[in-house]
Amino acid sequence: MATPDGRTPKTRGSHFGNGDATARQETTNRPDVQAPVPTMQASAPRPAMGGRRVSSRTAAATRRAGAHHVQRESRSGGRNLAPFLVLGLVAIAAVLAIVLVVVPAITGGNGGGETQEVVPGTTVSVTVPEGSGAAAVADALYEAGVIADKSEFLSQVRRMNAEQSIKSGSYSFRTGDDTANIIQTLTTGPNAEISLTIPEGYTVASIAAAVEETLSIPADDFLAQAKASNYVDDYDFLEGAGNDSLEGFLFPKTYSFPTGEVTADQVIRTMLSQFQTELDTLDLSYPESDGLSIAEMVNLASIVEKESAPSTRGTVAAVFYNRLDNMGDPNYGFLQSDATTAYSVGHDPSAEEVHDENDPYSTYAHVGLPPTPICNPGLESLQAVCSPDMDAIENGIFYFYFWTNDAGETEYAFSRTYDEHMQAIANNS
């Protein structure tokens, strides 16, 4: 039997004393018995010396001496078998060591007898590193709770002759699935999907960075591909997109892409198709009645995304509609949004920056919408622009101010006049 460290213990020999180890020949005190001759051979009687006949008693003694000699040789021969018995035991121990230690190591049996209860129906992810053998795969599946018995899995792999066909990569398995199905999946190739989450309000640059991190597509490659002219023939809503930009049209959502090579074009088309799906759910009658194209509606929605909270989107959208449509006092068609300048300069802008006439994204210095959307708005912001707060529009709400209260929540104050607006600022600063 092998020791815990895999070595075969030495057989401990025992030495037994023998009281008759030294042969003794005894002679009788009887005058008519001669001492036996130690070398007498029973097969050839000694001839009589000098013609004398050997007495019958002498012959009997001689035969007894010969018999004792033969028996001693036989016992001595029995003791010579001991080394062979020891060698046999060592050989048996070596075979046991191979069976108990070497064979499990070859077949991947890290505790090959281990079993566990598998709760069926759970989806788990398992990654098979490059160059993994069947034993390593069995370990990974066992640890993830996909299989109940590693030995049974490895036996099935051998029966299916699949050792050399298992492919590396990321997999998605359902616990409790049939072992043959699991192996079939491993030989077919990775089946897992990678999730890419794009939050509402991300810019195209932010999306490019997320794509690089999650899908390993270089951000520069993504940005180079993200041009409206590359997709306008397939997506009509891109007509009128400013600066050949896809800003605003890459719909924010959590997407799933297969493992393996995914291109920037595939990612962009997936997002544009999702935008088309969401666009089909919108009632565009109000923005169209206000003279906005789809591209302009998305542009306005991107500003609402940056300037509102979930509970105020409809009202913020109404304020910006009022400003767009008013060519007189108090705003003369200026949107006056700090968020548009922040998009341009990449940080919270200063008072000088928001009034910079050289910045086309300054909606204090330039009337109307900026050249492009300033982010990719979510569905709620798109809906707000399609269905603004009509009370706020009809009551002429032109101003809003927001702040963070002591509970860390964002609060809004909406006003009709500039004086009301300044009073709201004073009350909540």
Q: Write a three-state SS string for 3-56.
A: CCCCCCCCCCCCCCCCCCCCCCCCCCCCCCCCCCCCCCCCCCCCCCHHHCCCCH
In whole angstroms, give the CA distance from residue 80 to residue 74. 10
Of the candidates 413, 411, 409, the one whose C-alpha atom is nearest the C-alpha of residue 423 is: 413
Q: What is the pLDDT of residue 93?
A: 58
Tokens encoding 125: 């992810």
Same domain, 298 and 408: yes
Tokens encoding 394: 């009809």
Same domain, 169 and 264: no
Tokens encoding 104: 């499990």
Same domain, 216 and 302: no
In order along its 429 residues, the chain shows pLDDT tens digits of 444 344 333 333 333 333 343 333 333 334 344 444 443 343 444 434 444 444 444 444 444 444 444 444 434 444 555 555 556 665 665 555 544 444 444 444 444 467 999 989 898 889 899 899 999 999 999 999 999 999 999 999 999 999 999 998 888 899 989 999 999 999 998 888 889 999 999 999 999 999 999 999 999 999 999 999 999 999 999 999 999 999 999 999 999 998 777 999 999 999 999 999 999 999 999 999 999 999 999 999 999 999 999 999 999 999 999 999 999 999 999 999 999 999 999 999 999 999 999 999 999 999 999 999 999 999 999 999 999 999 999 999 999 999 999 999 999 999 999 999 999 999 998
Same domain, 199 and 92: no
Same domain, 261 and 329: no
Same domain, 239 and 186: no
Same domain, 169 and 274: no
Question: What count of residues does the chain have?
Answer: 429
Spatial contact of 288 and 361, defined as CB atoms under 8 Å apart:
no
Residue 79 lies in a domain: no
Give whole-number Cα distances, 277 to 56, 113, 235, 251, 379, in Å. 128, 53, 11, 10, 11
Residue 423 lies in a domain: yes
Query: What's the structural domain count of the chain?
Result: 3
Spatial contact of 211 and 185, defined as CB atoms under 8 Å apart:
no
The beta-carbon contacts of 186-194 under 8 Å, at least 24 apart in sequence, are: 186/128, 186/137, 186/162, 187/162, 190/258, 190/259, 190/260, 191/259, 192/125, 192/259, 193/256, 193/257, 193/258, 193/259, 194/170, 194/256, 194/257, 194/258, 194/259, 194/262
Residue 58 lies in a domain: no
Give whole-number Cα distances, 4 to 94, 101, 103, in Å. 14, 9, 15
Same domain, 254 and 322: no
In whole angstroms, give the CA distance from residue 196 to residue 198. 7
Spatial contact of 225 and 265, defined as CB atoms under 8 Å apart:
yes
Same domain, 204 and 187: no
Spatial contact of 271 and 198, defined as CB atoms under 8 Å apart:
yes
Q: What is the pLDDT of residue 259?
A: 76
The answer to whether the bond into 287 is cis (omega within 30° of 0) is no
Boundary of a domain, candidates 159, 191, 223: 191
Residue 181 host element (H or E) = helix 179-188
Residue 398 lies in a domain: yes
Q: What is the pLDDT of residue 429?
A: 86
Spatial contact of 257 and 190, defined as CB atoms under 8 Å apart:
no
Cα-Cα-Cα-Cα torsion 320, 322, 323, 327, nearest 10 degrees, comes to: 160
Tokens 């009632």 belong to: 283
Of the candidates 262, 269, 265, the one whose C-alpha atom is nearest the C-alpha of residue 215 is: 262
CATH number at residue 248: 3.30.1490
Residue 24 lies in a domain: no
Boundary of a domain, candidates 229, 246, 279: 279
Residue 207 host element (H or E) = helix 204-215
In whole angstroms, give the CA distance from residue 226 to residue 204. 8
In whole angstroms, give the CA distance from residue 124 to residue 121. 10
Q: What is the pLDDT of residue 57?
A: 44
Same domain, 329 and 370: yes
CATH number at residue 135: 3.30.1490.480
Residue 125 lies in a domain: yes
Please give the residue range of the domain that contains residue 382. 290-428
Same domain, 129 and 234: no
Boundary of a domain, candidates 158, 191, 224: 191
Residue 231 lies in a domain: yes
Indicate yes or no: pTM above 0.75. no
Same domain, 187 and 202: no
In whole angstroms, give the CA distance from residue 154 to residue 225. 46
Residue 312 lies in a domain: yes
